Chains A and B, each alone.
Chain A
Amino acid sequence: MSYKFDFEFLAERWPDFVAGAWLTIQLTVLAIAFGFLVGTVCALARVYGGPVLRRLVGAYVETIRNTPLLIQIFIVYFGLSSLGLKLSAEVSAVLALTINMGAYTTEIMRAGIESVQRTQLEAADCLGLTRFQTMLHVVLLPAMERVYPSLASQGVLLMLASSITSQISAEELTATANLVQSDTYRSFEVYVIVAVVYLALSALYRLGFWAISLILFERRRRLGTPL
């Protein structure tokens, strides 16, 4: 069977794709940022918190990591709405993606925090660093530096996974593809275009993570050696 590619619709519909990609970026950058905050706080709670707090965080992490993202999104969007809390599709998407990102980040950051040796904390104590200074400079930043590749990958994974928020009518990139496809019937072409856009977004996100790493990890920037 011979198939004739026809990208003519692109001349008219490219603003739709740009709008879709822009919403994907907005949704996922917010979710990655909030998810990172949630995950870091939860990781600290899981390592240093009391038994009750540790179990609570553990339950959160296991629940989210062992249920499908689509179900989590449906619960936030349809479930909360049934209870009377009406969130728009976009807000629901950010909320659900944040909750999801938070759980994975918790485990990644926990691994980093646990990799900081006791002797480092003792040295910080000897140098007279305050509790806050110790947390920031001796625990969190080195921990983050060690697990940074995993964090960056998780961020990119979340961006790709955000495509299923099209199911709750968030008009992001995949939803745009479905819409254009259903108008033009050029399904193959549309999904090829969207795949390329996602590929470009992934590259953009990795570039972004790399730039952030340059700003955050001063020691590595100066010495150029891994921790």
Chain B
Amino acid sequence: MKKRTLLRLVAGAALVPSFGLSAHADTLDEIKKAGKIRVAIDTAIPPFGMTDDKMQPTGSDVDLARLLAKDLGVQLEIVTTTGPSRIPMLQTNKADIVVSTLSITPDRAKVIDFSVPYADHPSVVAGLKTLQIKQLSDLDGKKIAVVRGTTQDTDLTQKAKGAQLVRYEDDATMALAVASGQVDLLATARSLLPAISKKNPARTVEPKITMQTNWLAIGVRKDEPKLLAWVNDWVKTNLKNGKLAAIYKQYHGVDIPTDELLAKTGS
């Protein structure tokens, strides 16, 4: 007990000259002090986050988090999360950052901060090959599966008022609903379609309408300027050196638009 108090005093004293008397703890310092970074990742969104045959987390978001922790010089602690609980995890300090297919949206930006984007993320309405769907108005009266709280959910709720949205808790359940025949249409990320079709090849789905292209970023709690600046620099560096592109290519089989991403970062 005593030793720890002493350590804290020393650490506190060390901070004083460089930052003055800061009112609340700084997450970047805490991460370095703890020697580990807690990263919230949804491991039920292949190929971003998933578990391999040895039940170990893997995927492009997982590899990105590993690379980030290595460059920061700390251990990686993966906090598994789900789509709807990604942001609450950050708000309630259960995680230091979120790397979990998190698209930048204005609503979300009100409650958390985003890093510069590290990948693109087109979302589509997809359906069975036999269905004739060309535009959003073709969706009237049809059942469309979405994951609750995702950008596709919000988007379609506003743009396809005639459609009946069927909301599931995660991608795995939504994929099962498509594979088992509960629904013939779904709105999701393009990256997910191959995995869904694989579940039941007789019900292979194809993209019908591209709704919008989102940009994936790392989520950081509000008022963490040091951590955010470090993460931003890290993303830019690894976009330029091609490491992030390589991770994406390995898991998704497509290239990220590196130039467009770099243009968005303003460098």
Contacts and interface: CB of A to CB of B under 8 A. Distances in A.
Which secondary structure dominates chain B's binding surface?
helix
Given A1-B93, A167-B173, A182-B148, A77 B182 contact: yes
Nearest to B25: A1
B181 A84 contact: yes
Interface string B165-177: 0111100010011
Chain B's interface size range is: 20 to 34
A179 B166 contact: no
Interface in A78-93: 78-79, 81-82, 84, 86, 89
B169 A178 contact: yes
B181 A81 contact: yes
B148 A86 contact: no
B176 A166 contact: no
A86 B182 contact: yes
A183 B149 contact: yes
Nearest to A84: B181
Contacts of B232: none
B111 A185 contact: yes
A167 B169 contact: yes
A166 B173 CA distance: 11
Interface in B131-150: 145, 148-149
A202 interface: no
Contacts of A169: 145, 166-168, 177
A60 to B, nearest CB: 24
Interface string B87-110: 110011100000000000001101
Interface string B221-251: 0000000000000000000000000000000
Contacts of A178: 84, 148-149, 169
A192 B83 CA distance: 20
Contacts of A77: 182
Contacts of A188: 92
Nearest to B93: A1
A42 interface: no
A107 interface: no
A82 B181 contact: yes
Contacts of A182: 83-84, 148-149, 153
A61 B145 CA distance: 34
Nearest to A89: B166
Contacts of B145: 169
B180 A82 contact: yes
Contacts of A167: 168-169, 173
B154 interface: yes
B149 A179 contact: yes
A188 B145 CA distance: 27
A154 interface: no
A63 interface: no
Contacts of B111: 185
6 contacts: A86-B182, A167-B168, A178-B169, A181-B149, A182-B148, A185-B110
